[in-house]
Amino acid sequence: MDWRPSGFMLSTKDLVHAIFDGNSDAGKLLVKATMGEIELFSAPKSWNAILWLITNTLKADGVPVYTGSQLGELKASLPIVWRAD
C-alpha cells in the first residue's frame, strides 16, 4: 500500500494568502507542503490570478519587477500540484 500525505485544495484566495502572508493558515500549509508533510493542490486559473496580482502591483517605474521567466521559476518552485478538475 502506497503512503501519501494528506492533501488540501487551495482556492484562489487561499493561494494569495499562502504566498503573501506566511502567518495565515494557508501560509502555514505552504510551509508544511515544502517540508513534504502535506500535498497542496490548486487550479491553474488560481495561478493566473497570482500572475495578474504580481505583474500589476509589483512595478518599478511602471515596469513589472519580475520577468516572465522569473514568474515561471516561481511557479515551478511552489510545492503545489496544479489541477484542473
Q: What is the model's pLDDT at position 66?
A: 94
Q: Which residue has the cell 521567466?
A: 69
Quick: pLDDT tens for 17-54.
999 999 999 999 999 999 999 999 999 999 999 999 99
Q: Map out the domains of the chain as residue ranges.
A: 6-82
pLDDT of 5 strictly over 90: no
- Show Cβ contacts of residue 58 under 8 Å, excluding neighbours closer than 6 positions: 64, 65, 66
Q: What is the model's pLDDT at position 58?
A: 92
Q: What is the model's pLDDT at position 55?
A: 93
Q: What is the model's pLDDT at position 8?
A: 95
Q: What is the pTM of this model?
A: 0.84
